Structure 1
Amino acid sequence: MSDLLNNWEKKSKDRQKEYKRFLEKAGKPAVRNRVLEQLPELHEEAFQRVDCLQCANCCKHYSPRFKTPDIKRIAKHLKLKESDFIERYLRLDEDGDYVAKSTPCPFLGADNYCSIYEVRPSDCERFPYTDEDVLVRRPALTQKNSTFCPIVYFVLEKLIAAGE
């Protein structure tokens, strides 16, 4: 990993105020488009430097939302009734969203592979949102993600270094 990623967890924790200021600025129309233009390249660079299978922090400590289409697709894949899938694996969170009952994710293997990868929830498929406008549209989520995802940390650091 590059020097930027050495000790990234501590660096991210120490830079939360800077991230908040940056994301507030990046949410403004004048800056937003310039930030969004950089995301595809930074997203690719981050994924070249970080191996998600070595990390899996997202799966170990947090749960995606399981939306209705996700529940239907995964239940069918597991050959379960939707109600049985929900009862076995999910709970409603404080926002009224279905999330995994337990952490780590019940579908995460010891090798950090996902046993339902082909039919995983859309939140998992899109995570860590470093190639889409969610990065600036939902600043609180981006800040939270930067504390456990080295890819989000990497992208934020590169954007800040670029002077955005």
Structure 2
Amino acid sequence: MASINNTDILKSIDYAKKNQLFEKLNNIYDTLPKGECTGCGNCCMESVGINLIEFLNIFNYLQDKDELRKKSLDSIIDYYFMEFMEKKSCPFKDENNRCEIYEVRPLNCRLFGHWKKEDYNKNLKDVTDKNKQYKNIMKIKYGFDISDEVVNYKIKYCEEFIPENRYLSKSERLNFADNIMVLDSRLFSKRVIDIEFRDRGIVEYFIDSLLDQNMSYNIKVRISKGRNISKRTISRLKRMLIK
């Protein structure tokens, strides 16, 4: 599996601009309900799942912000290659718990807090169960243990967030996701970008734009198996990839 070619990314951004896809994405964002957030940053502790159009939107946002782009890539590389060993916060959260890409933050970030507690906790249990299954698979396949801190980490339901009107049902949340998926389908159907369609987190999208997917995953596994070489290897990767 190849990386996401940067030329294809730029062509896709150009296509999205010409066809008002970013504008349509923002229109979807604008229909989302609002709420009162304390800004504690406790929810910003994972590589949230995003759509292709959202990745392009964030990539485009960072293009003329060289310092922020390099800082973000530095944190993204740390997050990805240490993911099996250490639980790190979202690479886009700063030292003051503020989101550095707040204007273009993805749907999953915007919807956090709008879940009913029972829905959220059920999903959280499902995620933890899948993490435990994945740990067993990695142990059998590669012979190392994913850290229990990582496997069992839970972003607790936020009792402080207050939705403007009411909590959203599962079908309402999925409807927003479906609307954004329609924008993705434009990019895939026109073959604007040559990548396989699969679920990716925000970190994975950026890593895939830097390295061949098989190569990055194999390096990640090797780092996880030999922790004494992790910092040196990651430093070399940063020097090679961040320009």
Give the TM-score taking structure 1 as reference length: 0.40
Give the TM-score taking structure 2 as reference length: 0.29
**Larger-Rg structure:** 2
